[in-house]
Structure 1
Amino acid sequence: MHGDIRTFETVFLLLLGFVVVLGELARRLKVAYPIVLVLGGLLLSLFPDLPRVRLNPELFFLAVLPPLLFHAAWLTSLREFRYNLASILLLAFGLVVFTVTGVAIAGERLFLLLNWKTGFLLGAILAPTDAIAAASIAKRVGLPGRITDVLEGESLINDASGLLGLEFALALIMSGETPSASIGVLRLLYLVLAGILVGLVVAWTVHWLELHIDDAPIELTVGLLSAYTAYILAEKIHASGVLAVVTAGFYLSRESATFFSPPVRLQAYALWDTIDFVLNGLVFVLIGLQLPFILAGLHNYTSVTLLLDAIAINVIIIGLRLVWVYPSSYIAYLFQRHVLKQPEPRPQVKQVFITGWTGMRGVLALAAALSIPETLSDGRAFPGRNLILFLTFSVILVTLVLQGLTLPWLIRFLGLGGADEDHSEEAYARLHMQNAARIYLEAGTMRGSLKAAAIFPEFVQPDDFHVGGSLIELPNDAPMDRADRLTITLQVLNVQRQAIVDLRGQGRINDRLLRTLERDLDLRETQVLDARNSRLGIPATKS
């Protein structure tokens, strides 16, 4: 027992060290860190004297997946998610069915020891894209915002449809029974609706708790707990734990402006960024480290056979996605334009191609493959399990590395880098903040409740969208003392914060821009609080 603990300590420290070193290497190389981490793990697996670390799928699904999905949902803009819902659903459900069907047909014709049933299973494993890899690589390579929004939305919810396909495929192979289409539809509806309901119930409860708690460590712990609670409760009732976590993340992110104080909000983003980096780093390194375990079960295959099979499955997976995205993007365009009456431009061929090319697979696919039982109910070896593991690993490696590394070049070649960037929304929001501050100060001055008339230009400066930076550094001959000015500054910041929250509620700005502006205000408020506290001898606020 003591030896096991010491081994675990050594392995854990080594993994964390690898994550730090490889993460810094990715930053210096300006390459998306999932690519470097996977390749680093792959190279480390070739050293015979290093400890072998096997990815435990149960541990991943329970301990790692909920916080990663929760944070990904938290950072997703709900406005863009709703706007692109037609495109997202066609990819998250339509493409999953198309991929599963295509791989099932190919399984019987192209791969030794695979039939349509095991091909169906392989398709269900490989159909969902990876939310973590998609978000990281999309932001690093500068994908246009619209494409990034669609990819992030797809990868957040296609896990549910993929895991349902995995459930059906395992039932088909283990029991020999083929579930009917009606059962499949009912199961999917229950999976989705019950998962969303659980996520909402957990989020409502956490929201209520957050409104009655004013202690940063406890608030942050409750937020982390909500991800695990949503996932576990949904899994307990055989609903989608993935959708439960995503729903809770969407809801709590939306409402965080009402229950987090500025210092807590700043700490929350720092905490979640750290959790996200550490867990992401560990899982992507672990992907690479799985190679020895996967190769150990492939003694009956020649190297040529494995290479040809790997090439074939990657061509199929990438090809199926490219074939699907063109008609689906046009269908989504027609639906948005003529049914939803959205001012949607006709999809460009090059943008559709990039959407099709950006279909990375990640640790979820590998964890799903590793969750396949080694034997059937009668004790026979599970057919094709080792080959499925190898093909899954090859698709993860190719889609992450090949597609991830070629994306920057393709974006530049197609002229898509920053093509749809529009800062008018931010300019409008900042001007709205300025006007909100102006109106508040003018109204207070007219009522006589604020002695701000003489220093009004210092509070709202015409060449700046923010409240002026001179709010803290004040001239000695100002007509009010420093304490009054700090108090008025806090009031103005609260007015501005409410103004941008209202804009978000009206759909005039998205959640991402709200968080950017909110952070500016939170940092400024923290400075003001520190200035006020220093006058009272209170330690500075931690952020």
Structure 2
Amino acid sequence: MPLVDLVVALMIMAVGLGWLARRINTPYPIALTIGGLALTFVPGLPTPRLDPEQILILVLPPILYHAALITSWRDFRQNLRAITMLAVGLVVFTTVALAWVAKLLLPDLPWVCCFIIGALLSPPDAVAATAVLSKLRIPRRVVAILEGESLLNDAAGLVVYKFAVAAALTGLFSVPSATVQFAGLAIGGLVLGALIGRLAVAVQSKLRDPVIEVAFTLTMPYLVYIGAEQVHVSGVLAVVTFGAVRAWYAPELYSPETRILAYGVWNVAVFLINSLVFILIGLQLAAVSGFGGIPLELLGAGLALAAAATATRFLWVFPTAWASRKLIPALAARDPMPSWRILTVISWCGMRGIVSLAAALAVPYVLSDGTAFPGRDEIIAVSFVAIVATLLFQGLTLGPLIRALGIGEDSDAREEEHLARLKTAYAALSEVERLAAADGRYTEEAVVAVRAEYAGLLGQERSTEPASGDDADPVRRLKLAAIAAARRRLIKLRRDDQIGDETLLAIQRELDYEEARLGG
């Protein structure tokens, strides 16, 4: 099958699976996983030989950048301790535990390959977590911790993974040296991402074409990742930091038209990239297992590794939550011990996904001396089984588990959004009153019409219906001025830490659509 025909077929399959996921109200990573799994039973499918070095470069930058853009960084800062313990401590703990389990299950597999499996399966996935959690109503702090963890643990997991692959290629590994390198990679990635982020903000301010601006945002994550890898720092942390810097300036940097266009383009791009990886792993797995499915030994090993990954998360979350508060009394006073129900939910949210899949595909075909990489087929097979098991089992049971535990959404997020809406409406109304008093271009009818609209948002009695006819243009200009004032107030609320990015994005999108409707 020609490459073009294959890509078209995969895109059609991705669209079909996405439509099916929406119809049955299931997160689309789960539908894509099932679709990729189904490919292993189709005879005669082509198996494209993918360049392992290019897989992570193709997949990770846009996925990480998009996740960083929609992360609430205020909530991230407030939960940094818990996020770090999960994103770094749990990743290392899980890598070692799963490597030991893999060696017990597959004794003929070299230890270094077992550590590769452990590193592959150590980080839960940002896309899977967001897609599943978006369907559920749970406390905002739980969402912030899980999304923050899924951003940072990719860096820790991939650094360990690259060390394990390098050890397999060279036969050399040193724990002290690896620790120093890890610190250098992390700090370097953070600094580089921040510097390029500020530079990109300066460049972006000079661009005034929405299409060019969106194209710029699509290319920059790749440039940041490749540049970071070239100077031997963490490309993952560089892209995440770059995304965080851009997210901070985006409300003021982009025009409403650019934000609306970027929102649609990025959602489509992330969906297609996820679809391609899930389907391509199915094609690769078909080559490993042959028509008829995965060998029973590897199937059992993958399921056991999935169970071990889940158990390891429970073994880490509960003891560290208790020990950290026992060892640090001030922490216990400032942040009381969460209920066992909350800790259970955090422990259960360990779905693996796109990063693990991409890293599995990136395992080299050959060693430095040209011989076949030991256990590559086994690594891909057991990793895919484990990923499928966590996505399907945990992803599909998370909702029923939350309902059974009686956990509901806290009122903080709703109250915060309600307060932000009131304050932005008040800012808009104040701007209308100021312009009415200072600018003689606005007729009394136009002022009354716009004033009535915002008074209605504030729960005040409307004095008249909106004007029409000859007053249409003054009403439009006045509304655009009111929207601009509301947007300024919204940005100030975020800068003053009164609202998080989630609230800002929700209200900002409504303001953008309203401005676009008015032709602003």
1:171 aligns with 2:166: yes
Equivalent in the alignment of 2:498: 508
Equivalent in the alignment of 1:205: 199
Asked if structure 1 preserves the Cα contact closer than 8 Å seen for 2:40 and 2:291, the reply is no
Equivalent in the alignment of 1:536: none
Report deviation, 1:21. Answer: 0.8
CA–CA distance in structure 2, aligned partners of residues 14 and 489 of structure 1: 47
The correspondence for 1:250, drawn from 229, 244, 251, is: 244
The correspondence for 1:234, drawn from 228, 238, 246, is: 228
The correspondence for 2:396, drawn from 383, 400, 405, is: 405
Change (3 A) 1:185 1:449: farther
> Over residues 421-480 of structure 1, what are the superposed CA-to-partner deviations in whole Å (9 max), with x where a residue is unaligned?
64111111111112212322333444465757664464254331499999995245x8xx
Determine helix, strand or coil for the equivalent of 1:462: helix
Matches within 5 A, 1:213-362: 213-296=207-290, 303-330=295-322, 338=330, 344-362=335-353
Asked if structure 1 preserves the Cα contact closer than 8 Å seen for 2:285 and 2:380, the reply is no
Equivalent in the alignment of 1:430: 421
Q: Match of 1:463, as an amino acid? A: G
Q: Match of 1:242, as an amino acid? A: V
CA–CA distance in structure 1, aligned partners of residues 166 and 494 of structure 2: 45
Equivalent in the alignment of 1:418: 409
CA–CA distance in structure 2, aligned partners of residues 420 and 54 of structure 1: 51
Report deviation, 1:273. Answer: 1.2
In structure 2, stretches of 5+ residues that fail to align are none
Determine helix, strand or coil for the equivalent of 1:113: coil
Report deviation, 1:527. Answer: 2.0
Per mean C-alpha deviation after superposition, the further-off stretch among 279-288 and 370-379 is 370-379
Change (3 A) 1:233 1:90: same
Equivalent in the alignment of 2:134: 139
Asked if structure 2 preserves the Cα contact closer than 8 Å seen for 1:38 and 1:287, the reply is no
Q: Match of 1:98, as an amino acid? A: F
Equivalent in the alignment of 1:538: none
> Over residues 32-68 of structure 1, what are the superposed CA-to-partner deviations in whole Å (9 max), with x where a residue is unaligned?
1111111112213312144334554333212222111
> Over residues 261-304 of structure 1, what are the superposed CA-to-partner deviations in whole Å (9 max), with x where a residue is unaligned?
111111111111111222122222223333212225999xx945
Report deviation, 1:260. Answer: 0.9
Change (3 A) 1:386 1:528: closer
CA–CA distance in structure 1, aligned partners of residues 245 and 132 of structure 2: 25
CA–CA distance in structure 2, aligned partners of residues 154 and 160 of structure 1: 10
Report deviation, 1:114. Answer: 3.0
Report deviation, 1:483. Answer: 2.9
Asked if structure 2 preserves the Cα contact closer than 8 Å seen for 1:459 and 1:471, the reply is no
Asked if structure 1 preserves the Cα contact closer than 8 Å seen for 2:450 and 2:475, the reply is no
The correspondence for 2:34, drawn from 36, 39, 55, is: 39
Asked if structure 2 preserves the Cα contact closer than 8 Å seen for 1:19 and 1:282, the reply is yes
Report deviation, 1:331. Answer: 5.2
Asked if structure 2 preserves the Cα contact closer than 8 Å seen for 1:433 and 1:499, the reply is yes
Asked if structure 1 preserves the Cα contact closer than 8 Å seen for 2:138 and 2:409, the reply is yes
1:528 aligns with 2:518: yes
CA–CA distance in structure 2, aligned partners of residues 34 and 159 of structure 1: 18
Report deviation, 1:338. Answer: 2.6
Q: Match of 1:124, as an amino acid? A: A
The correspondence for 2:381, drawn from 390, 399, 424, is: 390
Change (3 A) 1:266 1:308: closer
Equivalent in the alignment of 1:126: 121
Determine helix, strand or coil for the equivalent of 1:140: coil
Change (3 A) 1:159 1:472: farther
TM-score by length of 1: 0.87
Change (3 A) 1:463 1:333: farther
Report deviation, 1:12. Answer: 0.9
CA–CA distance in structure 2, aligned partners of residues 286 and 349 of structure 1: 39
Asked if structure 1 preserves the Cα contact closer than 8 Å seen for 2:224 and 2:239, the reply is yes
1:496 aligns with 2:489: no
Asked if structure 2 preserves the Cα contact closer than 8 Å seen for 1:330 and 1:347, the reply is no
CA–CA distance in structure 1, aligned partners of residues 303 and 94 of structure 2: 16
CA–CA distance in structure 2, aligned partners of residues 327 and 459 of structure 1: 56
Asked if structure 2 preserves the Cα contact closer than 8 Å seen for 1:195 and 1:243, the reply is yes
Asked if structure 2 preserves the Cα contact closer than 8 Å seen for 1:104 and 1:115, the reply is no
Asked if structure 1 preserves the Cα contact closer than 8 Å seen for 2:40 and 2:290, the reply is no
Asked if structure 1 preserves the Cα contact closer than 8 Å seen for 2:189 and 2:238, the reply is yes
The correspondence for 1:463, drawn from 448, 456, 460, is: 456
Q: Match of 2:167, as an amino acid? A: L
Report deviation, 1:319. Answer: 1.0
Equivalent in the alignment of 1:77: 72
The correspondence for 1:487, drawn from 447, 470, 477, is: 477
Asked if structure 1 preserves the Cα contact closer than 8 Å seen for 2:43 and 2:291, the reply is no
In structure 1, stretches of 5+ residues that fail to align are 1-5, 531-543
Equivalent in the alignment of 1:539: none
Determine helix, strand or coil for the equivalent of 2:47: coil
CA–CA distance in structure 1, aligned partners of residues 468 and 295 of structure 2: 78
The correspondence for 2:58, drawn from 42, 59, 63, is: 63
Report deviation, 1:314. Answer: 2.1
Equivalent in the alignment of 1:365: 356
Report deviation, 1:20. Answer: 0.9
CA–CA distance in structure 2, aligned partners of residues 332 and 214 of structure 1: 50
> Over residues 127-164 of structure 1, what are the superposed CA-to-partner deviations in whole Å (9 max), with x where a residue is unaligned?
11221112112213444432222121111111111122
Change (3 A) 1:176 1:41: closer
